[in-house]
Structure 1
Amino acid sequence: MNTQEIVQKLWNLCNVLRDDGITFHQYVTELTYILFLKMLKEKGNEVSIPEEFRWDSLASKHGMELFNHYRRLLLELGGKGSGLVKQIYVNANTNITEPKNLEKIIKSIDDLDWYSAQVEGFGDLYEGLLEKNASEKKSGAGQYFTPRPLIDVMVKLVDPKPGERCNDPAAGTFGFMIAADDYLKKKTDNYFDLSEQEAIFQRAQAFSGCELVKDTHRLALMNAMLHGMENEILHGDTLSSLGKQMMNMDVILTNPPFGTKKGGERPTRDDLTFVTSNKQLNFLQHIYRALKANGKARAAVVLPDNVLFAEGDGQKIREDLMDKCNLHTILRLPTGIFYAQGVTTNVLFFTRGETDKGNTDEVWFYDMRTNMPKFGKRTPFTEAHFNQFIAAYTTEDRTKVEDERWSRFTRGEIRDKGDTLDLGLIADESLSSYEDLPDPIESAEEAIEKLERAIALLNEVVGELKVVEEGRE
């Protein structure tokens, strides 16, 4: 049995919980509590769990006795556990109300082919579950999951090195840092090419992150643990004073949450020059300020289109970014690659300068959005779709690349356009011919996406107006 088959079997158990009214996301969280104990047993590493709460204590009980024991287990491990165990189980509670359902899940997990799972890697299995959850539109988890092909390309192009401190200030399930760790392990023979001290740094200090949502933070901890990572993942808001702990980074890879703070609320950080209710603009400021000012520290960040053209503070933040960093590349991503619908996105690649002025001379754009196939279940998005972009990005002389999707704007040209970065899109072929009319369903979906984008922008305006009104009172 391969990982994909085990993931499907685990996912099918969700049907057992439908009568309990459990959502997909609650199911993955519930599964995490149970899988954590099972995987520790399979790895022969149960020392961090009191004997009375180890896997066998669950597998040997039935009915109400099992149900009551499970609830006590969650309470005890969250209250009296230590280290990673306490972080995973803190404030844990079960959404399962039927003892027979809990027993069925535990028995089904116990009966799986765990030898095959261990050979293929528990980490891959767990990531498979997270991806399954994200792909279910009803789960609402798409906002926490960036497609793996995109993550892998971003990691490859940013090219983290051993000894560098890498961070994701909007960690989600820690996918970027896990991919960066995997990238470096492949380059260093699983860190065996490094000295003992260097290997310890990689496993315990090289990667870090912060996640606001408690249940997602649990998933991130579990994901890191199953990939053999012992790194710090903070629980809290990067846009609060907590974010100040994540400074002087060599590499930042992230996909910040989209949208505005609730009710137009401003972040509580006091070290950001321009503070708005737009979370992505505030995250962008945190990111370029958190990089070491050494001319080498670099970032790749997924951001929605509104960051490229927002006026007011948006324009000032883009100016500040291009002053403090060399914003050398913007990748216009295709639509339909994220499970969270209604947004058009980009990847900004930049390097922090040694000074705070005049670091961007030109910005190169690559259009992967226009005249591209509609990605989805029928047309999967793969790393191969990035081949031409990677070739253009990595070429020694970018001016010699012959690709209509590849274009350059000087800093002066961008300044003349009001510092907008909403540039670099090629002509849409579907608009030039009546013979190849778009599919009506796809057209409707695109219209919905544009309406949702407009609503998001209106919400930002409302939030800003509320702040202004509060200031007058």
Structure 2
Amino acid sequence: MTTTTHDIVAKLWGLCHVLRDDGVTYNEYVTELTYLLFLKMLEETGRENRLPDGYRWGILARREGVEQLDYYKSMLLDLGKARDDLVSAIFTDAQTRLRKPTNLKALTSNIDQLDWFSAREEGLGNLYEGLLEKNAADKKSGAGQYFTPRPLIDCVVRLMQPQPGEVVQDPAAGTAGFLVAADRYIKDHTDELYELSEAQAFFQRHNAFVGGELVPDTHRLCMMNLLLHGIEGGVANIDTLSPDGEALSKADVILTNPPFGTKKGGGRPTRSDFSVTADTSNKQLAFVEHIVRALKSGGRAAVVVPDNVLFEDNTGRRLRTWLMDLCNLHTILRLPTGIFYAQGVKTNVLFVQRGRIDKGNTKAVWVYDMRANMPAFGKTRPLTVADFANFEAAFGADPNGGSERQDQGEEGRWRRFTREMIAARNDNLDIAWLRDTEAEAEEALTEPEDIAAAIVGHLRAALEDIEALSEELEPDNVADPAGVPEAAE
């Protein structure tokens, strides 16, 4: 983020004090600002023709007092019924929490006074991304659960190398971080799409990026983010683990950080095509099955998962066996702790390629341990792009793990484990060989927010273990003696 963009983001975040004075809660800040910023940014980019007649930023900003607030409330209701699909997606069921006309006037006046010339020059999408990151970094907002650290996203995208003409999917899109980064990667390698034909450029803007997001307010932020980066729609407000998820386009590339935990009320996925995880409420296991089924033959994926996906028995083991049969699980990155704003759970990135046959695709798994002997990341030691340099060098230039690789031995971070070695571990992929210094690193934490995040992480990890054990003890959750379920289509 440049200094100019940082300054504008700081000014926007400062407006949250106005919102708080009117009773708007932390988790509603960015949603409330998004409504106003959308209208202003359409004016700044000359695209107000997307709005119904009579609804323009200038009309709203000029009004005063109760008349302005009433006009704004009416505007939100009518924009939710707009013919423009993207406009209606952002404003569906929209309503303001503002009650005082003076606060709305303060917001519109302050937004008008921002340096919009510089914002346009540096990219309105970058400005909005900065606001989302600021919101995620604020523990009180609770938005961290929807925000994957940008250095991690950029690392994954560089390794996966999305190409023009490929369908890129995120089945748990959040605020669209992975999709926006994939779009940026392609634009950087095609001179902002100018090297492509008109038809190819149209595909990139309208059809290349697809996905789903369950939470309505997060979906609004997602659609706004896509729009400001020149991507038209593509992400539906759906539960990917419901039958709606079956309708998502088959993908060449899947990049995602699915939600952790279990479905509320212990509910199971309702997908008719699920056979491996149909009996579990563990969402991350179910998302892994979705990813395998949604990949085209030869397609590739990178997915962030918590440790329990690597070691959970019964459904977890069946899923891993099935995954390694249908896909080449060529790489696992063990991520350091403390890198997620609202989650202290231990996480990994699985890199897979969907096989062209349905048996025996994984011959060996390479594991990179970026967790042991690493600093405790947090507010005082944020994650950076440079932290991934050694892993990217070890991974190599082939997005499907085919580059020449060198096992670094028991003293190194990068090791190879054959399929036979993994089978001898009962397909447990939670592989570690370096001494874990996590406790020592956590003792060095000084910021109260970082200490609290570490404590919460341990509690959540314990809760995950309890939930997994509870599922194993359920009488209707016994492993099928017949073995691995049938292959995905």
Q: Which residue of 2 aligns with 1:9?
A: 11
Cα distance between partner residues in 2 of 1:138 and 1:447: 16
Structure 2 unaligned blocks of 5 or more: 398-402, 478-489
User: Pairwise CA RMSD of aligned residues?
Assistant: 2.1
| Cα displacement (A) at 1:168 | 0.3
- With the length of structure 2 as denominator, give the TM-score of the two structures: 0.91
Cα distance between partner residues in 1 of 2:143 and 2:387: 24
Pick the aligned partner of 1:67 from 64, 69, 79: 69
Q: Does 1:399 align with 2:399?
A: no
Cα distance between partner residues in 1 of 2:142 and 2:451: 23
Deviation digits for residues 273-298 of structure 1 (CA, Å, limit 9, x no counterpart) = 122100000000000111112xx310
Deviation digits for residues 342-399 of structure 1 (CA, Å, limit 9, x no counterpart) = 3110000000000110000100000101110111221121111111101110074213
Q: Which residue of 1 aligns with 2:244?
A: 242
Deviation digits for residues 72-95 of structure 1 (CA, Å, limit 9, x no counterpart) = 000111124432111111110111
Pick the aligned partner of 1:260 from 253, 259, 262: 262
Inter-CA distance 465–400: structure 2 relative to 1 (3 Å threshold)? closer
Pick the aligned partner of 1:77 from 69, 79, 100: 79
Inter-CA distance 22–464: structure 2 relative to 1 (3 Å threshold)? farther
Inter-CA distance 104–425: structure 2 relative to 1 (3 Å threshold)? farther
Deviation digits for residues 178-197 of structure 1 (CA, Å, limit 9, x no counterpart) = 10010000101111111111
Q: Which residue of 2 aligns with 1:152?
A: 154
Say how many residue pairs are matched: 464
Cα distance between partner residues in 2 of 1:14 and 1:371: 39
SS of the equivalent of 2:406 reads helix
Inter-CA distance 269–429: structure 2 relative to 1 (3 Å threshold)? closer
Structure 1 unaligned blocks of 5 or more: none
Inter-CA distance 6–425: structure 2 relative to 1 (3 Å threshold)? farther
Contact 2:333–2:369, Cα closer than 8 Å, also in 1: yes
Contact 2:342–2:453, Cα closer than 8 Å, also in 1: no
SS of the equivalent of 2:371 reads coil
Cα distance between partner residues in 2 of 1:243 and 1:334: 31
| Cα displacement (A) at 1:36 | 0.6
Code of the residue aligned with 1:367 in structure 2: it is D
Cα distance between partner residues in 2 of 1:440 and 1:380: 12
Q: What does residue range 264-343 of structure 1 map to in structure 2 within 5 Å?
A: 264-274=266-276, 275=278, 276-293=280-297, 296-343=298-345
Cα distance between partner residues in 1 of 2:8 and 2:96: 23
| Cα displacement (A) at 1:9 | 0.3
Q: Does 1:195 align with 2:201?
A: no
Deviation digits for residues 31-69 of structure 1 (CA, Å, limit 9, x no counterpart) = 111111100101111111134210011111111001100
Q: Does 1:409 align with 2:417?
A: yes
Q: What does residue range 86-235 of structure 1 map to in structure 2 within 5 Å?
A: 86-235=88-237
| Cα displacement (A) at 1:176 | 0.4
Cα distance between partner residues in 2 of 1:176 and 1:444: 28
| Cα displacement (A) at 1:438 | 3.7
Contact 1:406–1:424, Cα closer than 8 Å, also in 2: no
Deviation digits for residues 102-155 of structure 1 (CA, Å, limit 9, x no counterpart) = 110111001111101100100000000100111111111101100111001101
- With the length of structure 1 as denominator, give the TM-score of the two structures: 0.94
Cα distance between partner residues in 1 of 2:21 and 2:472: 43
| Cα displacement (A) at 1:200 | 1.0
| Cα displacement (A) at 1:451 | 2.6
Q: Which residue of 1 aligns with 2:485?
A: none
Q: Does 1:54 align with 2:56?
A: yes
Contact 1:392–1:401, Cα closer than 8 Å, also in 2: no
Contact 1:277–1:464, Cα closer than 8 Å, also in 2: no
Cα distance between partner residues in 2 of 1:443 and 1:175: 27
Moved more, 269-278 or 279-288: 269-278
Q: Percent identity?
A: 55
Cα distance between partner residues in 2 of 1:286 and 1:327: 15
Cα distance between partner residues in 2 of 1:247 and 1:412: 34
Contact 1:264–1:462, Cα closer than 8 Å, also in 2: no
Q: Which residue of 2 aligns with 1:456?
A: 464
Cα distance between partner residues in 1 of 2:228 and 2:123: 8
| Cα displacement (A) at 1:463 | 6.0
Contact 2:442–2:451, Cα closer than 8 Å, also in 1: no
